[in-house]
Amino acid sequence: MGERIVVINPNSSQDVTDGIDAALDGLRLDGGPEIDCLTLAEGPPGIESQRHVDGVVGPLCRLVEAQDNRASAFVIACFSDPGLQSARETTRKPVLGIAEAGIATALTLGERFGIVAILATSLGRQRRFVRAMGLESRFAGGRPVGLSVTALADEDLTLSRMIEVGRALKDEDGADAVIMGCAGMARYRDRLEDALAIPVVDPTQAAVGMAISAVRLGYRTAAQRAMH
Amino acid sequence: MGERIVVINPNSSQDVTDGIDAALDGLRLDGGPEIDCLTLAEGPPGIESQRHVDGVVGPLCRLVEAQDNRASAFVIACFSDPGLQSARETTRKPVLGIAEAGIATALTLGERFGIVAILATSLGRQRRFVRAMGLESRFAGGRPVGLSVTALADEDLTLSRMIEVGRALKDEDGADAVIMGCAGMARYRDRLEDALAIPVVDPTQAAVGMAISAVRLGYRTAAQRAMH
Amino acid sequence: MGERIVVINPNSSQDVTDGIDAALDGLRLDGGPEIDCLTLAEGPPGIESQRHVDGVVGPLCRLVEAQDNRASAFVIACFSDPGLQSARETTRKPVLGIAEAGIATALTLGERFGIVAILATSLGRQRRFVRAMGLESRFAGGRPVGLSVTALADEDLTLSRMIEVGRALKDEDGADAVIMGCAGMARYRDRLEDALAIPVVDPTQAAVGMAISAVRLGYRTAAQRAMH
Amino acid sequence: MGERIVVINPNSSQDVTDGIDAALDGLRLDGGPEIDCLTLAEGPPGIESQRHVDGVVGPLCRLVEAQDNRASAFVIACFSDPGLQSARETTRKPVLGIAEAGIATALTLGERFGIVAILATSLGRQRRFVRAMGLESRFAGGRPVGLSVTALADEDLTLSRMIEVGRALKDEDGADAVIMGCAGMARYRDRLEDALAIPVVDPTQAAVGMAISAVRLGYRTAAQRAMH
Amino acid sequence: MGERIVVINPNSSQDVTDGIDAALDGLRLDGGPEIDCLTLAEGPPGIESQRHVDGVVGPLCRLVEAQDNRASAFVIACFSDPGLQSARETTRKPVLGIAEAGIATALTLGERFGIVAILATSLGRQRRFVRAMGLESRFAGGRPVGLSVTALADEDLTLSRMIEVGRALKDEDGADAVIMGCAGMARYRDRLEDALAIPVVDPTQAAVGMAISAVRLGYRTAAQRAMH
Amino acid sequence: MGERIVVINPNSSQDVTDGIDAALDGLRLDGGPEIDCLTLAEGPPGIESQRHVDGVVGPLCRLVEAQDNRASAFVIACFSDPGLQSARETTRKPVLGIAEAGIATALTLGERFGIVAILATSLGRQRRFVRAMGLESRFAGGRPVGLSVTALADEDLTLSRMIEVGRALKDEDGADAVIMGCAGMARYRDRLEDALAIPVVDPTQAAVGMAISAVRLGYRTAAQRAMH
């Protein structure tokens, strides 16, 4: 069997998974790993609270276990990185979280990154995450579009709000790179980048890019090496 | 013409370039970008001082210009990231520095990274670099193998010193991921990783991995977009 | 009904709950809130991994809901603060995590705090937590006793290892206050403090102390105010 | 003799002491420590400059000495924490400063705290204090009401300015918890909290709450243990 | 021969050198070091990009070598501190960079410093520099006057823009000391300081002041001591 | 009247004042400010505790007032910078503290500085000070010689302990510049620097050097400008 990267959308919206899947086409290379996007059936329609985040960890880890012998690496495609450390305890394969990988990628694209969030209630969670990464000095700030995950279906409204928020991050907060703070925003990257004229990171793309390297190079943590 | 990543070894040692080139085989995919490793003829045999670092920027930028219309992205393959910002002013294509990309990658592999340096005199430069990235809280420290770049040719001695230094980073300084602080160390990654049992990042591999994503996804900074 | 603080031990060891309960006697004041210690039946015998941490959040939040109309505040008595933010979304009452409260308390007792951990595998999780609190500059470091939660039953062995670790934190790492990194260590505080001659924080005591204030003073976050 | 917490208002305004005293009623429990609020006769009417801060340390320490054999703990009720370290050298009993304790408490109530200061000239002193605590990454900022300590007597004006400042901290600076930066503001907590709908910390309440725990649990620093 | 401080203007504008030279008169003391200002003939008219910065290092180090036996210390008079570490490898004499020395001086004059930059494109470079010094928590921010180095010749326009920018740094960003971010601004210090009423640091003056001390006190780094 | 810098030794040991005075000879230039060293009669023989620090502020400010019309600048020559902010409120002239100025100077001499302290009990105070300056990332650490201020009279013992401590700071803690953490150590700088072969900063020399610049350049803070 060839190499295969399993991307897990931990919410149950197949539409979001489809958007992710389409956005990854550029990273599907002949000779490179297969990239499969799965929807976590047990997840909520959108991950909108810490309780949602914590709630999907159990089924997500079970899905990792179920896929483990057919996977070369895993990507958790929700910007809260639910279960990232738990999944790393579950499999010997590399596990990438899209928040962690998206932020790491932004470090190479600009001096200070901003985050286009969906909900205002996510901002505290994201700031804690950035601080846990040790990167607050590179963080220009986060701003919410103020729409629910499901409402992202209204493309025109969503895009115009994302552009508005992205411009505020750039012009008022001093961001010179922007991360889209939700896997469900994948389809907007090109248009948002054109509007802002600074790099826009789709964190799922960033994580899958790093997963390809991880698969090809064989990184494994000490804990993963020590597994039976 | 297809996509092509130009990796520039800014020292003049073809032997180092060959080592880099071999280490990148895992990232050469049929449908992916061509990866070409060039030696900077004007560079010193090894980059061992800040004056060496600053001295190669001019010829390096000229090489970037000469290659620009046949390149999709550039990687500067020296752990001091010489000319990284200058090269970014020189071309509209993505430019990755191996220190920046290696450190960004290490963030996804462990809690605190250590750096296996060549010379003790590089430690201050590396610490300044880590601090400029805003990442001192993730930095377990650097330790030198105490050998010149050219002396890396003695493989047994070099490897045993690298393992010794890596163990000190892991056991005394608390690193759970290690970055090899020189492009010339590429050939030792597998053996060092086996000995340490924690992830060992070859920064050139890390940077080329990120360059592949950058090429496929089309990131460009505002400054690069604004170029004539 | 009078005020009542509900302390939840998220592991299933009644023995640990009993130890916590006894350690809280000093904070039971006439006229003050009742302090009830509950065991989370669904929890594992000890919380020893991130997967354990994430795994107890669901049942823990359900217990919070079940107790909500008879509670004035909640304390989550596990040093990983499992479900802290989720619980805060679940109830309008103050919720204290013992790691957060223990660290906040240590700031008033010394210049740099150390953590006596149980397992080496917890150290990364604790460092991430300290960094997420923004407090790495006050953190002298963590060291593990290297015993499982259940093995804490062997009191002499446990105490002697805790003293050994505490002395290393004090003498080698420069801590002038020490936090016991497990709710199951409650019974050792007096003896450890006598041996070390610096303040030793039992984080459950610290959290319950802060919960008493929170109950008496009526703090509620904006999110908690906004609940139906 | 029972336990007794001595709260020292280091300015000479009995009116301020009375306000503090009233605000502490919620923390007076039948079985808990007596809480006595004393006015430092030698203090200025309000502590409005660094010279005032430094000037009260001598008489404040003499008052600590005079009260020492009848006190279980001390609270210094001025947001500049005058003489905090000196007082800790003076008595073996726990000494809490209201700035230190108020900030520690705010860490458990929100993601970033703001400070409602009295005078613009205090902002530098407060920022230095926050930085000395290692907590600048949790600090949303300070804003002055621009009234002298004595002018706090005009309640309507004071409250409306405090609300205005608190709203700016919340809406413009991103604070989700607010600390009142003066012991003389105690009487406004409830009304300010109602107006802002986020937690408002009266730092004297916070410090007395922590002092109760310290008395009940018996924390003493190494220096305090070592005293004759 | 007496003591002599060599101040190198790394751009080729004699007019800028003359302005620097005049601004140093106050530091020319009988019995103190001679202060000579040299223009780097090989430099560009103004240093406006990273490529300019890196490009002057070679000729600048050669000038240091040529002057070495007649110099007691060197000052690099460009706010990007081009070649600072390289020059320190080149001579055993103290080398001061005006950015480093100007920032160090500002620490003694205020709580947070702002930088009046020339071009918006310099802001990222300056922020990286501040972060590399470990001082982001003291940095109120930078703002550009938006004029080229050569356009500084129009004194009225330049001064009015500098005052405008300085006021924004003071009133909006909270700076209580301001550093002029270009050696070519030397002639404006007095007028800018009068307009802002807070300390304005001319970084060349600051560096020459520190160079006088270094010459008189004989500081040399270990690397400089070790030179042949 | 000519320019005159008043250096105040806030302890009452004339012997320490004499040592300071002798160490400043190199900064006395024919055309430069007069440098007068005064002993604070009301100070303790040595400043060995926070209570000593706070206790000298009153008399020190009175001495500043008494000298004000004959002084161009003040230097507070105790490494705890007692009364630094209070003195700045007392006079319109520049006031330098030797800890602040010594640390600022060390930033230009090395990558990480260490402090040779006198007493172990000063280490916490110094760490708080470094953190309040925002500079913990440049701080290699402090180590005590373990001798009282008065015991510094035994020169051979003192010097050998200082060298021992300095070597530990250099070799174990990674300092490449060392600050002598007491004004009373002034006489040892040359010998310590020779032994360590890295820059050794006498903080009083550093502060007087910066005071000369401040006098010649006329820096005054907004608060000092605003004085009657």
| Contacts C30 to D, Cβ<8 Å | 29-32
User: Which residue of B107, B136, B137, B171 to mutate against C (max C Cβ within 10 Å)?
Assistant: B137
Number of Cβ pairs < 8 A linking chain C and chain D: 121
Q: What is the pLDDT of residues F102-145, one digit of tens each?
A: 999 999 999 999 999 999 999 999 999 999 999 999 999 999 99
- Inter-chain touch A128–D111, beta carbons under 8 Å: yes
Asked if chain C contacts chain F via 3 or more Cβ pairs within 8 Å, the reply is: yes
User: What residues does F177 pair with on adjacent strands?
Assistant: F113
Q: Once rounded to an integer, what is the mean pLDDT over residues D130-157? A: 89
Surface-to-core class of residue E228, CB atoms within 10 Å of its CB (0-12 exposed, 13-18 middle, 19+ buried): exposed
The full set of domains in chain C, from first to last, is: 4-97+205-226 (3.40.50.12500), 100-202 (3.40.50.12500)
Measured between alpha carbons, how far is F24 from C38 in angstroms, rounded to an integer? 68
Q: Estimate the share of chain A in helix, then strand, then coil, as percent rounded to the nearest 5.
A: 50, 15, 30
Touching B: which chains, 3+ CB pairs < 8 A? A, C, E, F
Asked if chain C contacts chain A via 3 or more Cβ pairs within 8 Å, the reply is: yes
| Contacts F124 to C, Cβ<8 Å | 111, 176
pLDDT > 70? residue B228 = no
What whole-number percentage of chain C has pLDDT above 90? 88
Looking at residue D172, what DSSP letter applies?
Answer: T
Measured between alpha carbons, how far is B88 from F62 in angstroms, rounded to an integer? 58
Q: Once rounded to an integer, what is the mean pLDDT over residues D8-28? A: 96
| Contacts B136 to F, Cβ<8 Å | 137
Q: Once rounded to an integer, what is the mean pLDDT over residues C4-31? A: 96
pLDDT computed for residue D149 by the predictor: 64
Q: Once rounded to an integer, what is the mean pLDDT over residues B15-28? A: 96
Reported as a pLDDT band with limits 50, 70 and 90, residue B222 is: confident
Q: What is the pLDDT of residues B167-212, one digit of tens each?
A: 999 999 999 999 999 999 999 999 999 999 999 999 999 999 999 9
Number of Cβ within 10 Å of residue E55's Cβ equals 22
| Alpha-carbon distances, residue F60 vs D132, F6, F54, F85, F226 (angstroms) | 24, 12, 10, 12, 22
Reported as a pLDDT band with limits 50, 70 and 90, residue B87 is: very high
Q: At CB < 8 Å, which residues of chain C contact A?
A: 49-51, 53-55, 57-58, 61, 83, 85-86, 88-90, 121, 125, 128-129, 131-134, 136, 223
pLDDT computed for residue F225 by the predictor: 86
- Chain F residue with CA closest to B128: the answer is F111
Q: Which of B97, B136, B222 sits opposite A176 (nearest CB)?
A: B222
Q: At CB < 8 Å, which residues of chain F contact B?
A: 111-112, 137, 176
- Inter-chain touch D27–C213, beta carbons under 8 Å: yes
pLDDT computed for residue D1 by the predictor: 60
Q: At CB < 8 Å, which residues of chain F contact E?
A: 26-27, 29-32, 96-97, 100-101, 103-105, 107-110, 133-138, 176-177, 197-199, 201-202, 205-206, 209-210, 212-213, 216-217, 219-222, 225-226
Q: At CB < 8 Å, which residues of chain A contact D?
A: 124, 127-128, 131, 136
| Contacts C96 to D, Cβ<8 Å | 108
Distance from CA of F76 to the nearest CA of B (A): 32
Distance from CA of C131 to the nearest CA of A (A): 5
Asked if chain A contacts chain F via 3 or more Cβ pairs within 8 Å, the reply is: no
Residue F212: phi and psi, rounded to 5, are: -60, -50
Length of chain B: 228
- Chain F residue with CA closest to B127: the answer is F111
Question: Half-sphere exposure (CA, 13 Å, Cβ side) for C173?
Answer: 27
User: Which residue of F50, F126, F127 to mutate against C (max C Cβ within 10 Å)?
Assistant: F127
Q: At CB < 8 Å, which residues of chain E contact B?
A: 49-51, 53-55, 57-58, 61, 83, 85-86, 88-90, 121, 125, 128-129, 131-134, 136, 223
| Contacts D223 to F, Cβ<8 Å | 121
**B80: Cβ contacts below 8 Å, ≥ 6 apart:** B47, B50, B53, B99, B122, B125, B129
Distance from CA of A139 to the nearest CA of E (A): 12
List chain F residues with pLDDT less than 50.
none
| Contacts C124 to B, Cβ<8 Å | 111, 176
pLDDT computed for residue C149 by the predictor: 63
Reported as a pLDDT band with limits 50, 70 and 90, residue E149 is: low
pLDDT > 80? residue E228 = no
Q: At CB < 8 Å, which residues of chain A contact B?
A: 26-32, 96-97, 100-101, 103-105, 107-110, 133-138, 176-177, 197-199, 201-202, 205-206, 209-210, 212-213, 216-217, 219-222, 225-226
Q: What is the pLDDT of residues F195-206, one digit of tens each?
A: 999 999 999 999
- Inter-chain touch F85–D61, beta carbons under 8 Å: no
Q: What is the pLDDT of residues C189-207, one digit of tens each?
A: 999 999 999 999 999 999 9
Q: Once rounded to an integer, what is the mean pLDDT over residues D104-127? A: 96
Distance from CA of E58 to the nearest CA of B (A): 6
pLDDT > 70? residue D228 = no
Helix (H, G, I), strand (E, B) or coil at C72: coil
| H or E stretch at A185 | none
Q: What is the pTM of this model?
A: 0.96
What whole-number percentage of chain D has pLDDT above 70? 98
Asked if chain D contacts chain B via 3 or more Cβ pairs within 8 Å, the reply is: no
**C142: Cβ contacts below 8 Å, ≥ 6 apart:** C114, C115, C116, C117, C122, C123, C126, C127, C181
Q: At CB < 8 Å, which residues of chain F contact C?
A: 124, 127-128, 131, 136
| Contacts F131 to C, Cβ<8 Å | 137
Helix (H, G, I), strand (E, B) or coil at B129: helix
Q: Which of B51, B53, B86 sits opposite E50 (nearest CB)?
A: B86
Q: What is the pLDDT of residues A49-75, one digit of tens each?
A: 999 999 999 999 999 999 999 999 999
Q: At CB < 8 Å, which residues of chain C contact D?
A: 26-32, 96-97, 100-101, 103-105, 107-110, 133-138, 176-177, 197-199, 201-202, 205-206, 209-210, 212-213, 216-217, 219-222, 225-226
pLDDT > 80? residue D184 = yes
Residue pointed to by tokens 């021992």: F164
Distance from CA of E111 to the nearest CA of D (A): 6
List b or e across A202-212, with b for residues whose CB sees 16 or more CB atoms inside 10 angstroms. bbbbbbbbbbb
- Inter-chain touch A57–C54, beta carbons under 8 Å: yes
Q: What is the pLDDT of residues E41-95, one digit of tens each?
A: 999 999 999 999 999 999 999 999 999 999 999 999 999 999 999 999 999 999 9
Q: What is the pLDDT of residues A84-114, one digit of tens each?
A: 999 999 999 999 999 999 999 999 999 999 9
- Inter-chain touch F27–E216, beta carbons under 8 Å: yes
Q: Do the beta carbons of residue E80 and residue E47 sit within 8 Å?
A: yes
Q: What is the pLDDT of residues D173-183, one digit of tens each?
A: 999 999 999 99
Q: What is the pLDDT of residues E109-124, one digit of tens each?
A: 999 999 999 999 999 9
| Contacts B138 to A, Cβ<8 Å | 133-134
CA-based nearest residue to F215, from F18, F32, F40:
F32
Average pLDDT, chain B: 95
Q: Once rounded to an integer, what is the mean pLDDT over residues D121-144? A: 96
- Chain D residue with CA closest to E111: the answer is D124
pLDDT > 70? residue A208 = yes
pLDDT computed for residue F153 by the predictor: 75
Distance from CA of B86 to the nearest CA of E (A): 5
| Contacts C139 to F, Cβ<8 Å | none
Measured between alpha carbons, how far is E171 from C104 in angstroms, rounded to an integer? 33
pLDDT > 80? residue B152 = no
CA-based nearest residue to A82, from A105, A66, A64, A69:
A64
Q: Do the beta carbons of residue F197 and residue F177 sit within 8 Å?
A: no
Residue pointed to by tokens 């393959």: B77
Measured between alpha carbons, how far is F195 from F168 in angstroms, rounded to an integer? 12
